[in-house]
Amino acid sequence: GNWYDKKDTSKIELVDVLLMSAMGPPGGGRNDISTRMVRHFNIVSIDSFDDQTLTKIFSSIVDWHFGKGFDGSFVRLGKMLVMATMSVFKQAIINFLPTPSKSHYVFNLRDFSRVVKGVLLVPGSHMTEGDKLLRLWVHEVYRVFYD
């Protein structure tokens, strides 16, 4: 096969092309690709992060944010926020399995980060009490995981 210009249908010659793609594992609406296609590519695979790694990544981000203009108690609350978010995330993966009527029940690390990112949008001048942080976290969990 060849590539052609759409306007004048002249042949286009492609030279030194590098194709890079990404995909997730089959399931949840994603299909398996054939071995005839895979043989043309180098496969690089990354395992899922373990709980300790996720805690370290998101705790570092939350600690950095709460270190800028927040009361010192928010650093402790930030660690609890990450642990609670991880617990909700793991339970959502276990309990909310995709079905034909609820095919959107495919949770990944992006959903975890959306909860944390939503909480971190609040500036230190607007957050003075730990209870408000807890209410904001509950709101973000509902926004991301609630059906």
117-129 average pLDDT score: 88
3-state SS, 105-139, equals: CCCCHHHHHHHHHHHCCCCCCCCCCHHHHHHHHHH
Q: pTM of the predicted model, to two decimals?
A: 0.69
For residue 107, the model assigns a pLDDT of 81
CA 103 to mean position of chain CA atoms: 17
Residue 110 CB partners (closer than 8 Å, separation 6+): none
3-state secondary structure at position 22: coil
**137 pLDDT above the threshold of 90:** yes
Q: Convert the pLDDT of each residue in 45-60 to its tens digit.
A: 888 889 999 999 999 9
* Structure confidence by residue, pLDDT tens digits, 67-110: 888 888 888 899 999 999 999 999 988 887 776 676 667 788 89
**DSSP 3-state assignment of 89?**
helix
Dihedral sign from CA coordinates of 104, 110, 116, 119: negative
Q: What is the DSSP letter of 12?
A: E
